Amino acid sequence: MIRASCFVILMSGHSKWSKIKHEKEAKDIVKGNVFSKLSKHITLAVIEGGGITDPGNNIKLRLAIEKARSLNMPKGNIERAIEKGTGPEKSQLKEVVYEGFAPGGVAIIIVATTDNQNRTLSEIKSVVHMHGGKLGGSGSVSYLFKRCAVMRFNKEQISQDQVFSAASEIEAFDVDEDEKEYRLYFPYDHLGKIKTEFGGIKPKSIESIFKAESSITVDSGTAEKIQSLMLELESLDDVSGTYGNYQTS
């Protein structure tokens, strides 16, 4: 168990990027793109959970449903997504991780949920090349990232002491913040076993990510090119997340 006093809360250098992604997500909700991605996450949670459709016994499903509800996804959409993960005609969705390089030599990880890997690879490769990047083979950049989970709390709902307490409970290895939220990073293997409430306070979200072990510094022009690449990748139906090991100068 990690002691809360061991943590140093670090200011994030990606608050502007977070704002850009938030604005894009809001627009995508209008287009229905986010609902399509959320449906895939729900279906995949059922498949990976061995067909368990009870959120009380499948925490990844519960987290996927909670995220869907937080974005006002209709109940019928959620139920259909759950059904796709069960029975003889169940979806063949899989999570696939792609590795590559963005402008400036920045390493990138692209996570997709797909039932057609050839289609997904073709679409991702086209976008990456169009933005001056290239895909690499398995293991080409993944050693630069740590697969983990992150728990987010809205700052107005929780004190710093409560953050430290929650961090100790989930055995977090890192904590950082920006002007709106705290982020607690903890081992990916703990994702299926953690609580989703701490002293009556529920996290804003809990999800798996790839966290860069270290970052390279790029100028603002290169950062804009990388962000443009990431946004276009995340506009693809199959892509569920993108990660890079960079910060701006």
Q: Which domains does the chain have, with CATH numbers?
A: 1-14+93-249 (3.30.70.980), 32-83 (1.10.10.200)
Cα radius of gyration rounded to whole Å, the chain:
18
Task: Give the pLDDT confidence score for residue 150 in this predicted structure.
Answer: 94
Write down the pTM of the prediction.
Answer: 0.83
b/e 8-46 (16+ beta carbons within 10 angstroms → b)? eeeeeebeebeebbeebeeebeeeebbbebbbbbbbbbb
Edge-first strand order for the sheet with 94-102 is 134-136, 94-102, 106-114, 239-244
Beta bridge partners of 207: 150
Mean of all residue pLDDT scores within the chain: 87
Task: Give the pLDDT confidence score for residue 9 in this predicted structure.
Answer: 41
Assign residue 104 a region (left: φ > 0; alpha: ψ between -120 and 50; beta: otherwise): left
pLDDT band at 106 (very low <50, low <70, confident <90, very high): very high
Two structure tokens written together for 74: 């209709």
Question: What whole-number distance in Å separates Cα of residue 183 and Cα of residue 10?
Answer: 10
Phi, psi of 110 (to 5 degrees): -120, 120
For CA atoms 7, 9, 13, 14, the dihedral sign is positive
Is 154 a residue whose pLDDT tops 90? yes
pLDDT digit string, tens, across residues 5-57 = 444 444 334 445 555 555 555 455 445 588 999 999 999 999 998 999 999 89
Question: What whole-number distance in Å separates Cα of residue 200 and Cα of residue 30?
Answer: 32
Which helix (H) or strand (E) segment holds residue 17: the answer is helix 15-31
Angle at 99 between CA 244 and CA 110, to 5 degrees: 60
Instruction: Give the Cβ contact number of residue 3 at 10 Å.
Output: 9
